[in-house]
Each structure stands twice: as C-alpha cells, then as structure tokens.
Amino acid sequence: MKKVFLIVAFAVTSQFAVANNADQFKGLTITPVDQLESNQSEVVVNDKTFRTNGANKVVPGLDVFDESGFNAYTVTGEIIVKLSGDVDFEQFNKDNDLIIKQAYKEYYILKSQSNRDLLPLVDALKQLDGVSSVTLELADKGVIQK
C-alpha cells in the first residue's frame, strides 16, 4: 500500500525532476484503456466538445477535458476577442459586468467579474459589429514548472 501512495505522490505533486523506480508497479494489472468506464457530462466551448466531471454550466474555475481525454483545461473567465474593426466595449462591458484586462494590437482580453455562465456572453460578443472572433480562454492544466 505504501508503494501505491508513493506512485500517487509522483503523479500528483511532482514539482521537480524525479528519479523512477520500476518496483513500484510490480503486482499491478494493466487495464486496456477502452475498458475504462466513463460517466461525464458534456459542454461545448469554442465550438469543440469537452467533458466535465458532472458540471454543465461553463463558469470561471470549471475544469474540462477534451474528447480524447488527453488535454485538461480550466475556464479562467477571460475572453480573447479579436477585432476586425472599431468596437466600443464600454456599454457592453457595463451591461455584462466585464472589464478590459489587456489590449494588444487587434486583441482585447475581457474578464468576467461574476461567476456567471460564460457561453451566452460569448454568443453576445460574437454578435457585435467589428468582432472577428471570440474565444473563451481555457488554461492548459498541463503547464507546470519544468
């Protein structure tokens, strides 16, 4: 049992490079990946289907993973808006409790100030004249110290 705890520590908390030990896996059986059960919910973000561990509202802090299961992300609440013309965000932001976090060239980074469902907000932004694309930011959970 102690060995199993050690492996878990590897998988979950490793911050630096660590040494490996094959003895840790002796006695464990290998399950083919297609035999694993799945009981997760689906959400569509940025026109792609993602799965969650039960949640179906896309709010800041939600963890999602893609259909392959190999990529996991956190919804940060920030929205990347690419412009194709002039857009006056002032009234829109006031109405939707958004702030401009950053602006760079044709990109605006908006941030939701509340814990609301972000998908209707993204749809509303897409309707604004002068907006080229709207992307809900998904922070890659795989980015760690190396």
Q: Where along the sequence are the contacts to another protein (CB under 8 A)? A: 4, 7-8, 10-12, 14-20, 22, 25, 28-33, 36, 38, 40, 51, 53, 63, 65, 68-72, 74, 76-78, 80, 82, 101-105, 107, 109, 111, 133, 135, 137, 139-146
- From residue 129, alpha-carbon distances to 25, 33, 40, 48, 85 in Å are 58, 46, 37, 24, 8
The dihedral sign for the CA sequence 124, 126, 127, 128: positive
Q: Residue 73 and residue 40: Cα distance in Å, rounded?
A: 15
DSSP state of 14: -
Least CB distance to another protein at residue 84 (A): 12
Cβ-based nearer residue to another protein, 12 or 127: 12
Q: How far is the CB of 141 from another protein (least distance, A)?
A: 6
Least spacing, CB of residue 5 vs another protein, in Å: 8
